[in-house]
Amino acid sequence: MSTGELAVVGMGIVAPGISGPEGALAPLGEAAPGWFRAEVALPGRGYRRLPDACKYLLAASRLAVSDAGDRFSKTERNHRAAAVAINNTGAALLEELDYTIMREGAEELSPSSSPFIAMSSFASRLSMEHGITGFNLTVNSPFTAGLEALRIAARAVAAGRARAVLVGAVEEALSPSQSTGPGSEAGAAVLHCEPAVEGNARYGTCGVRGAFLAPDAAGDAAAVLGPLVGDDPPGRIDAVLDDSAVGTAAARWLDRLADKREVVIVPAPAQAGCLAPLQRVMGLFAQQHTAPTRRAVLAASAQGTLAFAELTVVPRTAIGVDGEEALAV
């Protein structure tokens, strides 16, 4: 089921080893200590004691809003919205809070971090940052949550619930006791999205479709993936897949397209999180083209959820000092 299209007018990413949207197709680097400098990304008071994942999200959102000029601030507060995808975000923090309660008692919990025991607090803090009073919501679907956040945003825009939506994915590395291996993500990516009205899509437009492939029926992938991808797939499909039965079946099905389409398989550890698919969307939108170009990102979870984001990347426009758009040169 498709829920319409969104225009992407601003982008921001904060992730180890990636300097901006133009580098978002590169693999995430290792989240080594000190890779993120909060005092640079978030100058001012009120940020120092926030959880790291919240800092990533706020920093990426500032970049996305700034990238779009003053469009977000010109939107009425009750027509601003946020849809934030998380998987591992807060897991290490919750472990730390639990240990604090067990060792020292609940009275020793930090007043800055304890509200984030509710996972919805990350989207709520984003709304506070940008004066959002329309709505904010959190999407937790394993692996596909970032693309599903785009789908939900498109539905809300189509229904008139919002005219500007910050769609983001944020992750924080799992603790050593929680991780079963390397590869858990850290960082955030945010897209500033608006209704897809002709002429307002600075980077392009996107629509997202979803489906479900039962892990015990992965051998019948064609019956699910065929309708999901459609009869005329885009010229390039980036597929973010793990080595589960569902991910393996999706990779095999995509092999049949490889002689007619460019298929890029992006391996992802099972515990990676939901950042990589939205990061790929951003990276594809950041590419330069001289004519509208169709691209796509497919994500599949071990649990069976599938999400397919179809993009139309347009020739780049730039935001001028007066907020108007012009073709970039």
pLDDT the model gives residue 262? 97
Tell me what the mean pLDDT of segment 21-38 comes to: 86
User: Do 211 and 296 fall into the same domain?
Assistant: yes
User: Do 197 and 279 fall into the same domain?
Assistant: no
pLDDT the model gives residue 146? 97
Among candidate residues 204, 232, 259, the one where a domain is terminated:
204
Return the C-alpha torsion angle 132, 283, 200, 306, nearest 10: -70
* DSSP-H helix ranges across the chain: 38-41, 52-67, 91-104, 121-130, 145-158, 221-229, 245-255, 275-285
User: Do 49 and 180 fall into the same domain?
Assistant: yes
């785009």: which residue's tokens? 150
> pLDDT by residue (tens digit) across 74-86?
999 999 999 999 9
1 in any annotated domain: no
Residues 6+ apart with CB under 8 A from 256: none
324 in any annotated domain: no
Share of the chain above pLDDT 70, in %: 94
> pLDDT by residue (tens digit) across 240-296?
999 999 999 999 999 999 899 999 999 998 778 899 999 999 999 999 999 999 999
Cα–Cα separations (whole angstroms), residue 106 to 136, 218, 304: 28, 46, 38
pLDDT the model gives residue 217? 85
* 152: pLDDT strictly greater than 90: yes
pLDDT band, very low/low/confident/very high, at 325 (cuts 50, 70, 90): low
List the domain range (segments joined by +) for residue 278.
205-313
Structural domain tally of the chain? 2
Burial string for 129-141 (b: 16+ CB within 10 Å, else e) reads bbebebbbbbbeb
pLDDT the model gives residue 116? 80
Cα–Cα separations (whole angstroms), residue 268 to 162, 276, 299: 33, 8, 10
Tell me what the mean pLDDT of segment 97-123 comes to: 81
Among candidate residues 176, 204, 232, the one where a domain is terminated:
204
**Which of 6-10, 29-33, 102-106, 267-271 is least confident?**
29-33
User: Do 167 and 26 fall into the same domain?
Assistant: yes
* Helix, strand and coil percent figures for the chain, each rounded to 5: 35, 25, 40
> pLDDT by residue (tens digit) across 255-266?
999 899 999 999
pLDDT the model gives residue 322? 47
pLDDT band, very low/low/confident/very high, at 211 (cuts 50, 70, 90): very high
pLDDT band, very low/low/confident/very high, at 326 (cuts 50, 70, 90): low
pTM (2 d.p.): 0.91
322 in any annotated domain: no
The DSSP annotation for 136-168 comes to EEEE--TTTHHHHHHHHHHHHHHTTS-SEEEEE
Locate 248 and state its tokens: 């393996």
* 33: pLDDT strictly greater than 90: no
Tell me what the mean pLDDT of segment 163-167 comes to: 97
User: Do 141 and 242 fall into the same domain?
Assistant: no
Tell me what the mean pLDDT of segment 156-175 comes to: 93
